[in-house]
Amino acid sequence: MKNPVQQYLEEIVEACAGTSGAVADYIPELAEADPDRFALCLATVDGRVYTVGDAEARFSIQSISKPFTYALALQDSGKEAVAEKVGVEPSGDAFNEISLAPDSGRPFNPMINAGAITTTSLLAGEDGDERFARALEGFGRFAGRELDVDEAIYDSELSTAHRNRAIAHMLREFSILEGDPEDVLAQYVRQCSISVDTQDLALMAATLANGGVQPRTGEEVLDAQLVEHVLSVMTTCGMYDAAGDWVTAVGMPAKSGVSGGIIGVLPGQVGIAVFSPRLDSHGNSARGVTLFERMSHDMELHIMHVSRGSRSALRASFPLSQARSRRRRTTAEQEALDRVSDRCRVYELHGDLLFSGAESVVRSIVDDDPELAVLDFTHVNEIATVSRQTLIALRDRLRECGAEAVVVDPGEVIPDPDAGTDRATRRFPDVTSALAWAEDELIRRHCGDLTTSDPVGEHPLMSGLSDHASEVVRAALESREHADGEIVLEAGGDFSGVHLIIDGRAVACAEAPDGSRMNLVTMEPGTSFGELALGTEDVQETEIRADGDLSLLVLSADSIERITEDDPAVGLEMWRAMARDGYRVADKALRRGATRLA
């Protein structure tokens, strides 16, 4: 089945295949480019690459080197040192204007030639050769492969670089460049001659889209903070004197080159590259600009496009009464929880907790004013610093009111500054265990001592029996002990009777669809296990293990058969009680499923 995204990209490339514009001719080698070459490549932040047209045709990177040189200069020399030598203000000038601030000689920004020549000199290295090696290796990290130089382009370009030579010497005059300007110029021209194809550029752009992490190699090529900085400058200065038009019409940080390439970055989503050598009057690829305008419009890629999704990070919120742990409770506990369980609320968060998302979560919790708040971060990808701080502040406020917030955070997205101290936030690996804690805590806070004095007599299977039947059944109970971790019932075994927990806990485990083992239920004194096998053709489906030392009273399968045969009247009472118990468990389970699905 053909991927519809691929199909769409092929269609728009066809729709934009006009023939306006002319190939750059100020450098003899560039004038020889095939004017009809046309390629589009789109790389997602998880490394999927879509290509259309001549995506493997090589060309020199030219001015698209500028944002990457700037990025490497920021990394090698630091933001402050770079800011001393080159500004970040749009100049409104064409790409080859000298554009230096009148007093300091500081180039307006790193996307015009003067600024780019300056940043070239700020890469790590003792001389032009070393700094060039740094650029070549750095660009390769962005692209995810080793790159090389088109020497013919380099020779051709260096011999005709009169204007750039003038700029370099002017920069030297103002001491913006230090050392030999010819050395920097040669390095600059060599950088512009690095050979790439459209896919390389798309992946370089996708690395910026991905916060500086190369989508395929996974390498952190650039610090995320510097990525923001580079993208900002590309937004205001990337398209020369057409920057304002570009921002309004396309709305994506971008950079074009005179060989016919344009890259665009949609933060968090994709990197896009187009290659078509025919240029418009601003020196940008004519078909490239058309294609970007079309894609931005169709695909709603404009950075100012208002996405309503960011409004709420709260996927759902509900009282404990609608969730309940899968811990089996005694009737007394269950009744107690029915009274107080609305005092605990669960908040399911999702997506990225940016400021506005965290704000809406905090507002909900402040409004609900729960006694226990379970914050479920399972589906949260990333959490902004301010969100983290705000949520910690919320936890502290809740504590001041005698309330408590706990987190479910299997991915450890929200580190706790108080970890290891007695102020640490209680953390749970899954919602079920958090709910079990919350139930225990509510019972502890509000329901006094619910320890059952007669776990056998209060069990639903026994409580409905006549005195005589109860006596017969009690007499048949066998006492058993299991040590922590012992398997009490094996999955796949035969029905072996009803197991009443007198002391300790047992857990039921099963294999998850992905093959892993998961704990389904934790069972406490007063509850029972084993009887569900009656519903599955006498096969015990789950494995039961002791969770700590475990004391049981067992009404074995043999005893059940014996009573049924020897004393049919008691047998009938017993089976009737089991039927009621079966439907009771069924009703509870169905009801829980229904509530949570609603």
**Minimum distance of a copy of itself from residue 371's CB (angstroms):** 12
Instruction: Mark whether 8 is an active-site residue.
Output: no
User: Which residue type occupies 381?
Assistant: N
H-helix or E-strand spanning residue 263 = strand 261-266
Site for a copy of itself in 443-502 (CB under 8 A): none
Instruction: Mark whether 188 is an active-site residue.
Output: yes
Q: Tell me the two tokens of residue 562.
A: 């014996």
According to CB under 8 A, which one of 31, 49, 88, 124 is a site residue for a copy of itself? 88
Of 306 and 475, nearer to a copy of itself (C-beta) is 306
Of 50 and 188, nearer to a copy of itself (C-beta) is 50
User: Which residue type occupies 67?
Assistant: P
Sequence-separated (6 or more) residues with CB below 8 Å from residue 481? 549, 550, 551, 552
Q: Is 39 helix (H, G, I), strand (E, B) or coil?
A: strand
x-or-dash pattern for a copy of itself, window 175-214, by CB under 8 A?
A: ----------------------------------xxx---
Query: Edge-to-edge strand order for the sheet containing 59-60?
Result: 59-60, 194-196, 148-149
Instruction: Mark whether 583 is an active-site residue.
Output: no
Total Cβ atoms within 10 A of residue 426: 16
Of 427 and 592, nearer to a copy of itself (C-beta) is 592
User: Which residue type occupies 455?
Assistant: P
According to CB under 8 A, which one of 67, 115, 253, 283 is a site residue for a copy of itself? 253
Site for a copy of itself in 515-574 (CB under 8 A): 518, 520-521, 531-536, 541, 564, 568-569, 571-572
Is 250 labelled as part of a ligand binding site? Answer: no
Of 153 and 521, nearer to a copy of itself (C-beta) is 521
Q: Tell me the two tokens of residue 307.
A: 């996405």
Q: Assess contact for 8 and 40: CB atoms under 8 A.
A: no
Residue 467 burial class via C-beta count within 10 angstroms: exposed 0-12, middle 13-18, buried 19 and up: exposed
Total Cβ atoms within 10 A of residue 374: 25
DSSP-assigned letters across all residues of 71-83: HHHHHHH-HHHHH
Compute how many residues bind a copy of itself; rule: CB under 8 A.
136
Q: Cα–Cα distance between 259 and 342 in angstroms, integer?
A: 66
β-pairing, 427-428 vs 528-529, is unpaired
What Cα–Cα distance (Å) separates residue 394 from each residue in 259, 369, 389, 421? 55, 11, 9, 18
415 binds a copy of itself (CB under 8 A): no
According to CB under 8 A, which one of 102, 307, 422, 467 is a site residue for a copy of itself? 307
Task: Choose the stretch contacting a copy of itself; rule: CB under 8 A; options: 129-137, 159-167, 355-363, 473-481.
Answer: 355-363
Strand residue runs (E) in 6-138: 22-23, 39-44, 49-53, 59-60
Query: Edge-to-edge strand order for the sheet containing 427-428?
Result: 314-319, 344-353, 372-383, 404-408, 427-428
Task: Choose the stretch contacting a copy of itself; rule: CB under 8 A; options: 20-28, 233-241, 482-490, 550-558.
Answer: 233-241
What Cα–Cα distance (Å) separates residue 497 from each residue in 65, 84, 528? 75, 82, 10
**Eight-class DSSP state of 122:** T
Q: How many helices (H) and strands (E) does the chain have?
A: 21, 22
According to CB under 8 A, which one of 146, 180, 549, 587 is a site residue for a copy of itself? 587
Is 157 labelled as part of a ligand binding site? Answer: yes
299 binds a copy of itself (CB under 8 A): yes
Of 270 and 501, nearer to a copy of itself (C-beta) is 270
Indicate which residue of 258, 270, 456, 521 is catalytic.
258
**Minimum distance of a copy of itself from residue 162's CB (angstroms):** 26
For residue 70, which phi and psi values (nearest 5 degrees)? -60, -45
**Minimum distance of a copy of itself from residue 369's CB (angstroms):** 6
Indicate which residue of 23, 50, 65, 66 is catalytic.
66
Site for a copy of itself in 34-73 (CB under 8 A): 44-46, 48
Task: Choose the stretch contacting a copy of itself; rule: CB under 8 A; options: 18-26, 164-172, 182-190, 346-354.
Answer: 346-354
Q: Is 148 helix (H, G, I), strand (E, B) or coil?
A: strand
Instruction: Mark whether 26 is an active-site residue.
Output: no
Is 433 labelled as part of a ligand binding site? Answer: no
Q: Assess contact for 575 and 531: CB atoms under 8 A.
A: no
Is 164 labelled as part of a ligand binding site? Answer: yes
Sequence-separated (6 or more) residues with CB below 8 Å from residue 221? 138, 141, 142, 207, 212, 213, 214
267 binds a copy of itself (CB under 8 A): yes
Q: Tell me the two tokens of residue 470.
A: 């109860």
Is 50 labelled as part of a ligand binding site? Answer: no
Indicate which residue of 63, 65, 193, 556 is catalytic.
63
Site for a copy of itself in 209-228 (CB under 8 A): 209-211, 224, 227-228
578 binds a copy of itself (CB under 8 A): yes
Task: Choose the stretch contacting a copy of itself; rule: CB under 8 A; options: 51-59, 191-199, 348-356, 420-428.
Answer: 348-356
According to CB under 8 A, which one of 145, 169, 339, 363 is a site residue for a copy of itself? 363
281 binds a copy of itself (CB under 8 A): no
Of 174 and 575, nearer to a copy of itself (C-beta) is 575
For residue 378, which phi and psi values (nearest 5 degrees)? -55, -40
According to CB under 8 A, which one of 36, 130, 137, 300 is a site residue for a copy of itself? 300
What Cα–Cα distance (Å) separates residue 476 from each residue in 66, 531, 563? 86, 16, 9
x-or-dash pattern for a copy of itself, window 136-155, by CB under 8 A?
A: --------------------
402 binds a copy of itself (CB under 8 A): no
315 binds a copy of itself (CB under 8 A): yes
Query: Could you tell me which residues are annotated as the binding site?
Result: 63, 113, 157, 164, 188, 240, 258
Query: Could you tell me which residues are annotated as the binding site for substrate?
Result: 63, 113, 157, 164, 188, 240, 258
Residues marked active site are found at: 63, 66, 188, 240, 258
